[in-house]
Amino acid sequence: MPSSCIRVRCLHIAHDTGYLLRVTFEISVDGHCEPGFGPVADLLAGFIDSGREVGASLGVYRAGRPVVEIWGGHADRARTRPWERDTMTPIASTSKALATSAVLHLVDRGEIDLERPVADYWPEFGQQGKVEIPVHLVLAHRSGLAALDGSVSNDDAAELDEVLHRLERQRLWWRPGTRHGYHAVTYGYILSGLVRAVTGRTVGRYFADEIATAHGLDLYLGVPADQHHRVAPMVGPSQSQAFRSLLNPTWLPYALGVLDRRSVSYHATFGGSAAGFDDHEELVRYDVEDASAGGVGSGIALARLFAALIGPVDGRRIVSAGLMNAARQPQASGRDEVLRMRTDWCLGFQLPGGPMWPSVGVPGLFGHTGASGSLAFADPEHELSFGYTPNYWGELSAVGRRSRFRSTELTEAVYAAAGIRRWAER
């Protein structure tokens, strides 16, 4: 069925000012939707018009074809720079999906064995009781190497060797395989050390060479300097806002953990990065390769990535069907030692069900969320993939209250448009 072009426009009228003036500006969502998917664009336009969104990109694929490719709003806090089709934005922890894809690509090539210890490829990693940790425990956030004792700066990340040496010397937070806990900062660096030991390239370089270029993906773990002008910077909370947003019953156990600066909760998250939400100059160092949380891209590109993980796109897929089916099987579920709430993991990807990624009543999804509000996932049964990248970190800016995730509402709109029945959520 041929696609139909759309251009949704909404007029926003501000409240009357003291001088009886009205301030108006136009909101647009551009791109294309297949017939029936127009309500998805309407919802995104409504987010922008209401102020829940500044700018965003959204993509949906079905059976290897794009059925939604839309973008809208603005790429800057002042709302003076329109969001264009090629605009990218930071994707926070959704970056981990890019790093995971690179490792699975190497597994498919026979260069990495999921059952073998990381130290077989990277001998120095085996210090401090880590000699027998297999690759699959790292991917499932069960390795015990959930945090470093100190924070990682952008300068450290750019150098990389120092971070890898610290990982080699780092003690474990629990015995491998006995618990799971979100490796929020260490995940990407462990994979980068592993990939470099196998290929001589970092995980970001390998992803760029072997996956992004080959599959036409506008996704980066380290953005080339000549592409920085396309990046919409984060419009987000202050450091204190980000922390205060956790003060509700859902996030409170994690917030209490972060208050203890000796805890793995603190060291793995707020204490794991030297760049906080107030460090604006550090937050725009897009050239730095941070495969845990420093990726940059668009929702359209993320949808294409996940489509190519579960089937052919333009005749090519990233990993074999057998490996992908094995990788998406559950590996961990229950209380997360870092986040102190339920999380669910397969090999390198999140599974829905806990507060970090609420279930929408469709079984078999796998993907990844980011604190930016980003979400990317695949639904193999329905041959559907989804990518969403906002530049407004809205959920982390909502102090003292919990609204529904924008990504959840958009996901529900996509399934309604696709005519896919969802289970009722309790």
pTM over 0.85: yes
Q: 32 φ, ψ to 5°?
A: -140, 150
- Spell out, as residue ranges, where the chain has pLDDT lower than 70: 1-27, 276-279, 282, 396-403, 424-426
Distance CA 48, CA 196 (A): 41
Specify the pLDDT at position 277.
66
- Is 77 exposed, middle or buried (CB count within 10 Å of its CB: 0-12, 13-18, 19+)? middle
Q: How many CA atoms lie within 13 A of 286 on its CB side?
A: 22
Distance CA 294, CA 262 (A): 25
Task: Answer for the pair 303, 59: CB distance below 8 angstroms, yes or no.
Answer: yes
Distance CA 32, CA 249 (A): 40
Q: Is 222 left (phi over 0), alpha (psi -120 to 50) or beta?
A: left
Which residues fall within 8 angstroms of residue 321, CB to CB, at 6 or more apart?
A: 310, 311
For 40, other C-beta atoms within 10 Å of its C-beta total 26
Task: Give the single-character DSSP code of 273.
Answer: B
Specify the pLDDT at position 401.
52
Q: Can you tell me which residue has the tokens 């000549």?
A: 226
Single-letter amino acid code for the residue at 228:
H
Specify the pLDDT at position 383.
98
Specify the pLDDT at position 1.
34
Specify the pLDDT at position 397.
54
Distance CA 211, CA 101 (A): 8
Task: Answer for the pair 356, 350: CB distance below 8 angstroms, yes or no.
Answer: yes
* Closest CA relative to residue 215, chosen from 325, 309, 142: 309
